[in-house]
Amino acid sequence: GQIHQRAGNGARAAWGIYPCADGFVGVVSGPPRRWANIATLMDMPILADERYQRTGAQSELRDEIDALMLPWLIEHTKEEIYQKAQALGLPFGYVSTPEDYFKNEQLQYRGYFHEVDHPVAGTLRYPSMGAHFTDGLWESKRAPLLGEHTLEVLESLGHDAQSRANLSAAGALGARPHGGVTNGAAR
């Protein structure tokens, strides 16, 4: 068989995910009328040349255009590129890391993160539901400890005390991961 890989959008230049100084940016040059903004963004008048703006040029000259753009992208951070592109009306974005999400002012303002207490891991920040509803209640709970609900689940499946004891004696139950660390949750 053949292993398929992501094809991306190799049909045109300035359209896709590109590396930058601190990660990756989503570059979308948009319609031809916005092509001059790419040249302005990167301070590369050569990109405003008619040769690159004619219909089909971004496809035909993709490698050449990418070779012009990449050095500029590599010298700038994703936030710099994003802010400058937004100011020029270019629909750019960037690939966010978990750290980026936690620093995101919009997500903070919207109360997207909340704290969850966990008996082993401590208090951690978690993302909440993406949408907020006026009448809807949404609750986020901690992850269960290993084996914390095993007895309740077995009981709900009809296992009596003897069956549970047999499973435990066979080593099928417990609160020990393969590393042998216990959390004391199993009864």
49 pLDDT above the threshold of 80: yes
| Least confident stretch, 25-29, 50-54, 128-132, 144-148 | 128-132
Judge whether 135 lies within some domain.
no
In-domain check, residue 26: yes
For residue 88, give its domain range: 15-95
What is the 3-class SS of the chain, one letter each residue?
A: CCCCCCCCCCCCCCEEEEEECCEEEEEECCCHHHHHHHHHHCCCHHHHCHHHHCCCHHHHCHHHHHHHHHHHHHHCCHHHHHHHHHHCCCCCEECCCHHHHHHCHHHHHCCCEEEEEECCCEEEEEECCCCCCCCCCCCCCCCCCCCCCHHHHHHHCCCCHHHHHHHHHCCCCCCCCCCCCCCCCCC
Considering only residues 19 and 107, tell me which one the structure prediction assigns the higher pLDDT: 19
Residue 109 lies in a domain: no
Residue 59 belongs to some domain of the structure: yes
Confidence (pLDDT) at 122: 92
CATH code of the domain covering residue 87: 3.30.1540.10
In a domain, 136, yes or no: no
Asked, for residue 147, whether it belongs to a domain, the answer is no
Q: Could you report the per-residue pLDDT of 155-179, keeping only the tens digit for each?
A: 999 999 999 889 888 888 877 765 5
Domain count, the chain: 1
